[in-house]
Amino acid sequence: MAATARNALLKYLRVQVEAVPRNPSTTSSSVFLNSFNALRRHFSTEEVRGSFLDKSEVTERVITVVKNFQKVDPSKVTPNANFQSDLGLDSLDSVEVVMALEEEFGFEIPDNEADKINSISLAVDFIASHPQAK
């Protein structure tokens, strides 16, 4: 009974495969290279260079977001400012700043990474190295 069920199931799961004619002059390594070259994506230099934001631009934008945060004294905001000790923010305020940064840069920061961002410099480093930041 199990063999009958197996055969009935395999009848619907089988895929028709055609044999590829073998050329004796081709080696397995050249076949691999040809397959790899067919699948490889070519990246332009603009794509590679433009995949991450400039760190100075990110720094300016992060500082602007933090300065615009209601509970922050704009005169205390520096590129190395810590959210809690330098700017007087509590943990909930820090979460709100990270959420504002997500909105500014157009991508979601995972919770485990957001928990680590407690200063402007850490935010800049993370955002500048993230390929989805806009």
The token pair at 21 is 């004619």
* 54-71 pLDDT tens trace: 888 999 999 999 999 888
pLDDT for 100 equals 92
**CA 116 to chain centroid:** 17
pLDDT for 85 equals 87
pLDDT for 132 equals 74
What string of DSSP letters covers 40-53? PPPPPHHHHHTTS-
Instruction: Domains for the chain: give ranges and CATH numbers.
Output: 55-129 (1.10.1200.10)
Ranges of the chain whose pLDDT falls below 70: 5-6, 8-51
Q: Which residues are part of the catalytic machinery? A: 90
pLDDT for 121 equals 92
Q: Is the pTM of this model over 0.85?
A: no
pLDDT for 39 equals 52
Closest to 63 measured CA to CA, from 111, 113, 116, 119: 119
